[in-house]
């Protein structure tokens, strides 16, 4: 999946040390994710942050400012082969104060066989430990801000040279993608962190050929129309949390 840009500020404004968010137009939002936050499109053109859902969300919701901390290939958990997990990038995110933090990840953990761990796990080499670390890190630094996790959308990835498990295939851990989504929800439940369940309800299926062709060219990443639809779905859910 290669390397991605660190972060893009989707406004000319600078995030203040503290903000007082009321209306959506007051909100500074941090979007923490992988390639599907960065804006990869699964095509030769590569995509980019200009088509990604965070920018579309800013337009739809009227947010004051949005940061895109998407990184191609990033796992939630720490792994031996990479140094850009969500855990390892967390300080970069925390350095930019925001009113709302959105965290979307986990599909790379599933596809690359990262252990789930258990609900009480603190080892950041596991998904449960990583999610716990991210939640505690954000809400310890910014206890009065809003944090929402988004479960990773279903995938039917058609890579040209490698095999990756689709949502309903077992990975080397003997797990399917729903197990990873459930682990994220379970840790969030412990901390009373809201979850937008895009795994179950993104409104886009890579297992419907017509939708995959239009919205998910390679079965994992989204086209411009796909990110537009995804932003609509996320925005619709956010309104009940920000109201």
Identify which of 180, 208, 209, 197 has the alpha carbon closest to the alpha carbon of residue 233.
Answer: 197
Query: How far apart are alpha carbons 88 and 82 in whole angstroms?
Result: 10
C-alpha Rg value of the chain to the nearest Å: 17
Edge-to-edge order in the sheet of strand 28-33? 8-9, 65-70, 28-33, 100-104, 146-150, 195-196
pLDDT in tens, 178-201: 999 999 999 999 999 999 999 999
Give the span between the Cα atoms of 79 and 129, in whole angstroms: 13
pLDDT at 167 over 50: yes
Domain for residue 2, yes or no?
A: no
Q: Is the pLDDT of residue 35 over 70?
A: yes
Domain count for the chain: 1
Q: Is residue 16 one of the residues assigned to a domain?
A: yes
Asked if the structure places residue 158 within a domain, the reply is yes
SS3 at position 125: coil
We report the CATH number of the domain holding residue 39 as: 3.40.50.1110
- pLDDT band for position 175 (cuts 50, 70, 90): very high
The per-residue pLDDT for 160 is: 85
Query: Residues 154-182, buried b or exposed e (16+ Cβ, 10 A)?
Result: bbbbbeeeeebbbbeeebeeebbbeebbe
Cross-strand pairs, 103: 32, 149
**Where is 140: in which H helix or E strand?**
helix 127-141
Residue 1 lies in a domain: no
Contacts of 132 (CB under 8 A, 6+ apart): 121, 122, 187, 191
User: For residue 94, is it within any domain?
Assistant: yes
**Has residue 9 got a pLDDT over 80?**
no
Structural domain for 64, as ranges: 8-242
pTM of the model: 0.91
Q: Note whether residue 64 is domain-resident.
A: yes
Could you tell me the two tokens for 198? 């895009």
pLDDT tens, position by position, 93-150: 999 999 999 999 999 999 999 999 999 889 999 999 999 999 999 999 999 999 999 9
On whether residue 172 sits in a domain, the answer given is: yes
Give a yes or no: residue 3 inside a domain. no
Residue 173 CA to residue 216 CA, distance in Å, equals 26
């Amino acid at each position: 999946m290669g390397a991605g840009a660190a972060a893009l500020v989707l406004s000319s404004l600078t995030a203040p040390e503290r903000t007082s968010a009321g209306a959506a137009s007051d909100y500074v939002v941090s979007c923490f994710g992988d390639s599907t936050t960065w804006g990869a499109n699964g095509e030769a053109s590569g995509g980019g942050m200009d088509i990604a859902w965070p920018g579309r969300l800013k337009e739809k919701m009227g947010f004051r400012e949005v940061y895109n901390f998407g990184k191609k290939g990033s796992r939630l958990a720490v792994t031996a082969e990479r140094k850009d997990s969500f855990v390892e990038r967390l300080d970069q995110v925390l350095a930019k104060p925001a009113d709302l933090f959105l965290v979307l990840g986990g599909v790379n953990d599933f596809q690359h066989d990262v252990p789930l761990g258990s609900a009480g796990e603190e080892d950041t080499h596991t998904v449960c430990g990583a999610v716990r670390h991210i939640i505690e890190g954000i809400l310890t630094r910014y206890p009065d801000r809003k944090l929402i996790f988004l479960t990773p959308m279903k995938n039917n990835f058609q890579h040209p040279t490698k095999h990756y498990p689709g949502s309903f295939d077992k990975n080397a851990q003997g797990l399917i993608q729903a197990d990873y989504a459930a682990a994220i929800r379970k840790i969030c439940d412990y901390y009373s962190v809201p979850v937008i369940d895009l795994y179950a309800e993104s409104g886009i299926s890579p297992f419907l050929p017509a939708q995959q062709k239009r919205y998910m060219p390679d079965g994992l990443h989204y086209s411009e129309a796909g990110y537009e639809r995804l932003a609509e779905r996320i925005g619709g859910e956010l309104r009940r949390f920000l109201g």
